[in-house]
Chain A
Amino acid sequence: MKTRIFVTLKNGVLDPQGKAIHHALESLGFDGVNDVRAGRLIELEHEEGISKAQMEEMCQKLLANTVIENFEIEG
């Protein structure tokens, strides 16, 4: 089965990449976008037996840097 994990920058942490994407969108003529925050999507293909707690541990230990990032495990 597949689980998606979203890793995003915490609120208040400056996101220079999001800012650059925002500027690029504006330069392409897309008005009305107020802010852009870029994150990371990680898809795990895994056995049924992997628990959410184990995935949280994966996030804590490697997939996210909790100093600057939040993570959300789908489902």
Chain B
Amino acid sequence: MRAAVIQFPGSNCDRDMAVAIRDVTGADTSIVWHGNSALPDGLDLIAVPGGFSYGDYLRSGAMAAKSPIMKSVVAAAGNGVPVLGVCNGFQVLTESGLLPGALMRNAGIRFVCRDVKLKVENSQSIFTSRYDAGEEIIIPVAHHDGNYFADDATLDRLEGEGRVAFRYAEDVNGSARNIAGILNDAGNVLGMMPHPERMIEAMQGGSDGRRMLEGLIREIA
């Protein structure tokens, strides 16, 4: 298995993500600089990590979404390569058009940094097959702009097509319908604000994030 983690100026979860992927899946994992225009060949997974790419200038994720590597990421996603965007990575995926909607300033204005309870809404995707539908898991969030917004028609479509992967068990940031993570229509792109790579082993306070990567190995194999 081969994986790539995209690194932008201002990314700060890139190494955590790479270590998590490598440890759990054994994948040959490389960190790819945003200024490259080509991805490594034969990728089974692309991760767009958390952080503050380009200092959150203009809008969170807006500048990163236009960086050279993202053209290749969008093309790879179109070819079915699994793409996981976490936190700032989710913002980058919405700004790049891979996922609908937008992530706005938290409704309470404050930066929210704590463990949150998530409800698994879809356990059929390649990212969530090791969870049970309706299961509650604990994954930390750390964001200022995690307030998911989309118009009602888009929200209805996401819900109707089973594309809400995770929902906050309680209001965390004002997100529409408490949405914490969504899938694209083909199901190979997942964007989520919570950080699964921060819940890989007991030392981190839990391992609910680990099963996402374990599920991916099983689905990709």
If A62-B58, A68-B102 touch, does A16 touch B149 (CB 8 Å cutoff)? Answer: no
Contacts of B102 in A (CB 8 A): 65, 67-68
- B residues less than 8 Å from A14 (CB atoms): 104, 107, 147, 149, 174
Q: Does B95 contact A (CB under 8 A)?
A: yes
A41 within 8 A of B: no
A52 to B42, CA, bound (A): 43
Query: CB within 8 Å of B: which of A53-75?
Result: 61-63, 65, 67-68
Are the C-beta atoms of A68 and B58 separated by less than 8 Å? no
- A62→B107 contact, CB < 8 A: no
The tally of residues in B whose CB lies under 8 Å from a CB in A reads 20
Assembly CA distance A61 to B95 (angstroms): 10
Number of A-B contacts (CB under 8 A): 38
A67 with B58: in contact, given A16-B109, A20-B109 (CB under 8 Å)? no
Inter-chain contact B149/A68, CB cutoff 8 Å: yes
Which residues in window 129-151 of B have CB below 8 A to A? Answer: 147, 149-151
Instruction: Report which of A13, A17, A63 forms a contact with B149, defined as CB distance below 8 A.
Output: A13
Cα-based distance from A63 to B105 in the complex (angstroms): 17
Cβ B107 vs Cβ A67 within 8 A: no
User: Separation in Å of the B171 CB from the closest CB of chain A?
Assistant: 13
Whether A68 pairs with B104 at a CB distance below 8 angstroms is yes
Name the B residues within 8 Å of A65 (CB-CB): 59, 62, 95, 102
| Contact among A16, A19, A20, A62 with B62 in the assembled complex (CB-CB below 8 Å) | A62
Q: What are the 5 A-B residue pairs with the smallest beta carbon separation, nearest first?
A: A67-B102, A68-B102, A16-B105, A16-B109, A20-B109
Q: Residues of B with Cβ closer than 8 Å to A? A: 58-59, 62, 66, 94-95, 100-102, 104-109, 147, 149-151, 174
